[in-house]
Structure 1
């Protein structure tokens, strides 16, 4: 039987421990068991299990409630576990799957959940499953659909990797398939058909000429992007293809609604059949909310710097859809997420722990 987690072991050691527990998406049961068992040892927490998600809440009757969330799963291991520690103390780096995305953030959550018996605000700690796979399986989304009361709050922090900086909101994402029709023919008599792959040059030309916008939203500038991310077509080596499909991904500022983003994309590819295959709205930064202002002030006292936009899509959008302002804040360079050389400085894990603690006790 796997030993119980020691939530008082320090956030760096705790990160190392939980990284080494199997937790690839779809195999989160062991880590969810370990998290649940550890949190149930603290009488100031009410603990709820939902599938392989664990929610722990204080019930102190405070005027405000904050939600602090992180996912338990990782992408598949690439011969980069168990965790390897390079260096010593806060100069050390933890190398291995999950050190960036996002066991450092989860360790900060666990340590503070155990330690803070009487925070100045009530806290809901959320540890959820299936973040790294299809959004329909996402544990936070499941809770939002079936038990939204567990996510109720005045402000939320998602401990996604941000290199210990505050990243407000997130871009939305829209994925479409642009179909180019053709007419099949034998390649020896190509003039008798219409080559759909050749016809796709017009789609690619529009993409090459497209100038993405940079849009200021609540003081943060979000960069958009419209890019081909896949192309398919062709039947056989001697057949003129009768169809070519270009997959396009539009990353759009949170000032656009999903409907506006879709219409913008359809306008760009007017004359072609456009089919939406995946879509998720962005989230406005919400940094002007009173709790967000207090959070920013407290965190920057410890970390320095200034808030920045989150260009990728994250689960802050799920909180935004529930009417809860949310930001991203956690240890680890997001550029290293999912890479074989994934690694995180111990100092960033400690810094995020200290910054969140400062905010939650003042």
Structure 2
């Protein structure tokens, strides 16, 4: 089967949602996308694992990258898709409708139809976004083909409720440890309870007040939260180790080093190990091409609180935003669904910007 890209973006969304592509199993959908794109002579198509790239080469003075991931979290009785009416509006319900196959469908339709855009376009559809970075198709493509990322501006079709979300927060995970001395719980006084010793860590977290930091006119809300706690040996043993895993979301004005310093200061006096970190991305909306984009889609930019792959573009010197259909609160939800009208609105906005209409 080759996707029918003459269909509406909503129908294309349904078609690609009904091709299961849980992270690690995107091959069938990548095949469909590659075959569909190769039918259009105005596009240069290449395949990198299960990442498909299609480019125009019109010699225009500017180039934009528009990207979307094709994988989903696991299905939970929410495929095949179906159309449902909620509060008088029609939605497409099913896994992947929000995160982020509706955005991918809009991109596929526009890639097929826009033979004379105002800027050259590089379309990217990549795999394994929902899992660890080492498997992320965009990460691997950037390592092997950084030349494909040369652009003046980038858009990631992550669900943003049809709004423009500039940049993204950074993220850091750390383990905060307390150590004690094992003993029989019947003689607890000869030991030292590491779990009890973690109480001040939890107090500091409970008392922490999230800050909102303005970066280039957008307010990024930070957060410091415990996400797991581990400790204990047996039901009759005083534990000698407790580990509290903490996640810090930080404004894109901070570097990873700044974030680490903040976390270590927050838990001064405790053993802290940084286990994972990714810098955020500044909004990058001051460039003329970005301002034209905002004007074309008729939107006001907002901050992106979560981390997304826009940070990869930002790290390569390409300003990037999130712009796609779907309420991000419904991403990964068993009631995942996207309004049909929002799919159409995002398509209209991107088409207007890319064609100057």
TM range (shorter): over 0.9
Residue 11 of structure 2 corresponds to 13
Is residue 347 of structure 1 aligned with residue 341 of structure 2?
yes
Aligned pairs (5 A) from 1:208-357: 208-300=206-298, 305-357=299-351
Aligned pairs (5 A) from 1:123-202: 123-202=121-200
Give the TM-score of the pair, scaled to structure 2.
0.98
Task: State the 1:30 CA deviation.
Answer: 0.2
Task: State the 1:56 CA deviation.
Answer: 0.2
Which aligned segments of 4 or more residues in structure 1 are displaced greater than 2 angstroms?
A: none
Residue 77 of structure 1 corresponds to 75
Structure 2: gaps (5+ residues): none
CA distance in 1, matches of 2:54, 2:132: 25
Query: Which of 10, 29, 32 is 1:31 aligned to?
Result: 29
Range moving further from structure 2, 90-99 or 291-300? 90-99
Range moving further from structure 2, 285-294 or 325-334? 285-294
SS at match of 2:97: coil
CA RMSD between the two structures: 1.1
CA distance in 2, matches of 1:147, 1:258: 25
Task: State the 1:250 CA deviation.
Answer: 0.2
The alignment of Structure 1 onto Structure 2 pairs a total of residues equal to 355
1:13-72 superposed Cα distances (whole Å, 9 cap, x missing partner): 000000001200000000000000000000000001000000000000000000000000
Task: State the 1:212 CA deviation.
Answer: 2.1
CA distance in 1, matches of 2:92, 2:211: 37
1:102-155 superposed Cα distances (whole Å, 9 cap, x missing partner): 000000000000000010100000000000001121100111111111111000
CA distance in 2, matches of 1:59, 1:339: 39
Give the TM-score of the pair, scaled to structure 1.
0.97
SS at match of 1:100: helix
Query: Which of 122, 126, 131 is 2:120 aligned to?
Result: 122
CA distance in 2, matches of 1:288, 1:240: 57
SS at match of 2:123: strand
Range moving further from structure 2, 28-37 or 79-88? 79-88
1:297-345 superposed Cα distances (whole Å, 9 cap, x missing partner): 1111xxxx42110000000000000000000000000000000000000
Task: State the 1:205 CA deviation.
Answer: 1.1
Task: State the 1:209 CA deviation.
Answer: 1.9
Residue 58 of structure 1 corresponds to 56
